[in-house]
A and B are shown apart, each in its own frame.
Chain A
Amino acid sequence: MTTRIFGSGIRRREDPRLITGRASYTDDIKLPGMLHAAILRSPYAHANITSIDASGAASQPGVVAVYTGADTDGVLNGMPCAWLIPGSDLKTPAHPAIAKDKVRYVGDAVAVVVAETRYQAEDALEHIAVDYEPLGVVVSPKAAAQDGAPQLHEDVPNNIAFTWAVAGGDADAAFADAAVTVSDTITLQRLIANPMEPRSALAQWNAPMGELTLWNTSQNPHIARFLTCVVTGVPEHKIRVIAPEVGGGFGSKIPYYPDEAITSFCAMKLGVPVKWTETRSENYQITTQGRDHIEEVEMAATSDGVITGLRTTVYAGMGGYLSTASPGIPTILHGLMYSGPYNIPNISGTIYGVFNNGCPVDAYRGAGRPEATNLLERLVDLVAAAVGQDPAEVRRKNLIPKFENGHDVATGITYDSGDYEAALDSALSAAGYESLRAEQAQARADGRCVGVGVSSYVEICGLGPSQVAGAVGFQGGLWESAIVRFHPTGKVHVMIGSSPHGQGEETTFAQIIASEVGVDVDDVDVIHGDTDNTPMGWGTYGSRTTAVSGAAVAVAVRKIKDKSRALAAHLLEAAPEDIEYEDGRFFVRGSPDQHKTIQDIALMANVAWNMPEGMEPGLEASAFYDPPNFTYPFGAHVAVVEVDPETGRIDLQRYVAVDDCGPQINPMIVEGQVHGGIVQGVGPALWEGAVYDDDGQLVTGSMLDYALPRADLLPELEVHSNTTPSPHHPLGVKGIGEAGTIASTPTVYNAVMDALRPLGVTRVDMPLTPEKVWRAINDARNGG
């Protein structure tokens, strides 16, 4: 029974508190004497601060303190960037938590008010007088990199924060010799992550002990502790960061933000707990956004559609400052994936990270890989059109053949295992691809615009080998650790350093324990999110929690199993090699009645009345797992759309996904990740985009204007899977958190272009809103 728990879609152990309203998120926590902070933000995208007079706010009802950059200057250190890409001429200009002299995006913090209630704090903001001298604004990352563009940072010429190149083979020669070349300029618009829980920070300062406790909406509390130490100067062992229930993150809760530092500063100055929670409008202005790429891309191929080369020039917007991980996103997590699932022997890419007057850009679900997959899949479709072949067949002939243990690609990385053609076959079969094409031909004959989109993808997950992290400039490791502790009654606590916030590891990690040593999943509680109660870990992002933290759990519980076997042998007076294990029982070979359950072992180990010579009491093990390679999940997706040419409206009619993340611990949870991922990628294809006007004002400043996917806009998703284990992982698992988002944007985009191609439309900038599609159709009709 228990051994089959691995792979079972059991319902989640974390759900009871969530479905009953009994979970505590950061903003739900109230401490005695707690005050509330509100932060004044720049209304200008780029301006010098000529004066600040905060005296008016100080006398407002309930106001306890008002601080500006003059107060934090020299007390708080600058906001750190923690991914320093080597060989890229990276500039890391100063990023004060509170701007003192200059603001660089709408939302830059200028002052903070602490008051007895949040209403009072927000009221008082209006009584701070700030004089600004507006400066020139630049929003487009490409425009920002040109001579004469407004300069955001004095010491960063042309706003270029870094220049990073990736190369393999000889791309220029491939293009010179190519029978077919296709090109496009792709704008992958800024996206707003929109976790449903706004960010929040609650800081408590224990002055006599010099201890700072920070409750924070973080995907990685141990990193938050480390960076709190860097910014506040409080020693690391005197900082406790707690990420309680966290309501989604999608990358936007990885960074350490000025707001956390400011809230901590206030608590330390005042000696009372201070809480800050962003409004959704603030979230839109200040919580890191995703993408913001302008990509000039081209692909070379033979006349038969065999891809021979890829060249890219990418301008990646960084926003006003570098965020915690931003330089790594369009480089390591993007450019290294330029081969995708294909044999592309010749690759050359140049990525410019560019400061522009917007919210800082950092990881957003997929983080670099959606951008890579999107450009590849669009180009492959252009190649298919250019050579007059079916896009699925062009993919098939370029896919890397099945491999089980390592495949090198031109960008210099080694994929772990893959069977890309099987995924494509499964997707085409599940979609009924041939029938779809026949139906499409009939629809076209009837004058209807039906399109079928296909994409293949591979992503880099399970970040990652720490030596590689160091080599690519990540200012930390990427291993994970776990402690598995059996109590005398056989109940289990598992402490992990990663920090799930919706992904369900309280359940899947209990399943790992249960499947290894035969306890009931309900007897295992997984503890995470508190730096005082969990071992070191680097956090939950990059589809790495199951792949890395789960491996640590597996390694730790296998140590438990080894010790249990040895103790069972001692108690049963048998040789350890004669002890067999099945379903939670350790027994003497051939004598199943002579056994000890794991619960017996837990009790005997904890009371330690009769331990073998040299064996320590207790039944607890820890593991530090540093992955030998990344994991590379993959898949293929198919979408069907119909476009109304008279209105430009797109009806997404079907969506078929085949994903291969290796063995699935809990297929129900995997499917849920795929559902959510797909929808987060459909959004930017059809509806979502953060729009800044020429003055750097965020036009899409609320959920009214930023079009998030809603339940009634989506078809029933058809989700399937294949299973190709990772050769290097203790459980073979790869990770599934980002797959859907990576695949779905180009799948839907390609379907729409497939529908529009007979009308002469070959490209439209995303999101494919009805107005843009209608204009493109009309322009094509008018000979444009």
Chain B
Amino acid sequence: MTIPVEITINGKACAGEVEPRQLLVHFIRENAGLTGTKVGCDTSQCGTCTVQLDGVSAKACTVLTVQASGSSVTTIEGLSDGVDLHPLQEAFWNNHGLQCGFCTPGMIMAANELLSRNPSPSREEIRHGLEGNICRCTGYQNIVSAVEDAAKSMGGR
């Protein structure tokens, strides 16, 4: 059995016929062909699949595609055109907030929502806000600096 869905991803309508059990992250990667969103675990711990679902950050491995039908999703590819970078992307680059890069899309998307809720977070608040995203390379310190830096350039203090 398949169910028709239509999800707006990065401003573009993506329609498909999917199994009810399909995870949103697989729709994004397989159906929409947007592989910036990663799969790092199967227990909703790692946060590499974090996207924005109707403006709220969500782990796309814990959402069924059919649940997201009619919704609007922003992935890392939708944050900028890839050339004129989003301030968070620029800040991750400037602060060496990534090494292997696998956690980075999810980390940036989680940080984006964090800054939308709290435009001027303290380092401690950033650490707390990113506890749902695991990075194994950076030890988090430069990620915290990147988010702090982005907050400044986005108008927070």
Contacts and interface: CB of A to CB of B under 8 A. Distances in A.
B64 to A, nearest CB: 13
B77 A22 contact: yes
A147 interface: no
B76 interface: yes
A205 to B, nearest CB: 23
B42 A279 contact: yes
A592 B130 CA distance: 55
A711 B144 contact: yes
B60 to A, nearest CB: 13
Contacts of A24: 35
B37 A21 contact: yes
A403 interface: no
Interface string B94-116: 10101111111100100000000
Interface string B127-140: 11011011111111
Contacts of A25: 35, 38, 102
Contacts of B94: 11
Nearest to A705: B43
Given A27-B39, A28-B35, A675-B139, A247 B85 contact: no
B140 A711 contact: yes
Contacts of A247: 38, 100-102
Interface string A8-49: 000110111111111111011000000000000000000000
Interface of B, helix, strand, loop or mixed by DSSP: loop
Interface residues of B, number: 57
Contacts of B124: 712
Contact of A710 (B43, B102, B134): B134
Contacts of A502: 99-101, 137
Contacts of A673: 99
B42 A702 contact: yes
B2 interface: no
A27 B99 CA distance: 18
A196 interface: yes
A345 interface: no
A528 interface: no
A440 B22 CA distance: 56
Interface stretch (A177-185, A676-684, A760-768): A676-684
B111 to A, nearest CB: 11
Contacts of A740: 139
Given A119-B19, A280-B43, A711-B130, A717 B77 contact: no
A411 to B, nearest CB: 31
Contacts of B40: 196-198, 280
Nearest to B133: A711
B65 interface: no
A265 to B, nearest CB: 25
Contacts of A250: 136
B96 A676 contact: no
A198 B80 contact: no
B120 interface: no
Given A16-B93, A711-B144, A196 B75 contact: no
Contacts of A501: 100
A246 B100 CA distance: 7
A335 interface: no
B104 A703 contact: no
A740 B143 CA distance: 18
8 contacts: A21-B36, A280-B42, A503-B99, A672-B96, A672-B138, A703-B134, A704-B45, A711-B130
The list of the 9 closest CB pairs from A to B, nearest first, reads A21-B36, A247-B102, A18-B101, A502-B100, A21-B76, A703-B45, A675-B139, A679-B139, A502-B99
Given A197-B38, A673-B99, A678-B139, 15 more contacts: A15-B92, A19-B85, A20-B79, A22-B77, A22-B82, A119-B19, A194-B136, A248-B137, A280-B46, A501-B100, A671-B96, A676-B136, A704-B43, A714-B139, A740-B139
